[in-house]
């Protein structure tokens, strides 16, 4: 009986680890981004590029820029190129504090999203 309980506990622990670990590697996580958080960039059109750890469904993903005056504008996503990369070019940006908002659909069907604040000018 003691042996049986011991085995049951071991199986439960292993299952718990698997359940906890799955979300961490299953959906899209940023590998690198440009701009980086709180980066200062020059005024004008800004190429943005976010690389993830998995393939992205670019048609069902979204890039937006939250502008200093309030509101947001869409950044069209380049459909060509590296399947792990979501990239596009903003409209002309004047000096101020901005936020790049991203939402991506990974091939595993999970959506992840986040914000990257950056500054245009000094
Ligand atoms: Cu996932």
**pLDDT, tens digit, for every residue of 49-103?**
999 999 999 999 999 999 999 999 999 999 999 999 999 999 999 999 999 999 9
The H or E element containing residue 24 is helix 2-26
**Tokens of residue 12, six digits:** 């439960």
CA–CA separation, 15 vs 36, rounded Å? 37
Cα 58 to middle of ligand 1, angstroms: 16
Residue 96 lies in a domain: yes
- The whole-number pLDDT of residue 10 equals 43
Question: For the chain, how many helices (H) and strands (E)?
Answer: 1, 8
- The whole-number pLDDT of residue 25 equals 54
6, 7, 23, 60 from 14: Cα distances, Å:
13, 11, 16, 35
CA–CA separation, 45 vs 8, rounded Å? 60
Q: Give 6-53 pLDDT, tens digit per residue.
A: 444 444 344 444 444 444 456 899 999 999 999 999 999 999 999 999
CATH number of residue 105's parent domain: 2.60.40.1220
- The whole-number pLDDT of residue 7 equals 44
105 vs 12, more confident: 105
Residue 86 lies in a domain: yes
Residue 6 lies in a domain: no
CA dihedral (108, 86, 78, 111) positive or negative: positive
- The whole-number pLDDT of residue 27 equals 86
Do 88 and 102 meet the contact criterion of CB atoms below 8 Å apart?
no
Which range marks the domain in which residue 76 is found? 28-120
Cα 27 to middle of ligand 1, angstroms: 3
Cα 3 to middle of ligand 1, angstroms: 36
- The whole-number pLDDT of residue 26 equals 61
Cα 66 to middle of ligand 1, angstroms: 26
């Amino acid at each position: 009986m003691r042996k049986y309980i011991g085995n049951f506990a071991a199986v439960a622990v292993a299952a718990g680890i698997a359940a906890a670990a799955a979300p961490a590697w299953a959906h899209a996580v940023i590998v690198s981004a440009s701009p980086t958080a709180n980066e200062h960039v020059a005024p004008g059109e800004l190429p943005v590029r976010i690389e993830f750890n998995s393939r992205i469904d670019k048609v069902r993903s979204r890039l937006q820029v939250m502008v200093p005056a309030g509101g947001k504008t869409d950044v069209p996503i380049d459909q060509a190129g590296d399947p792990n990369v979501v990239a596009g070019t903003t409209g002309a940006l004047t000096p101020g504090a901005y936020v790049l908002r991203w939402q991506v659909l990974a091939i595993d069907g999970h959506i992840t999203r986040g914000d990257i604040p950056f500054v245009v000018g000094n």
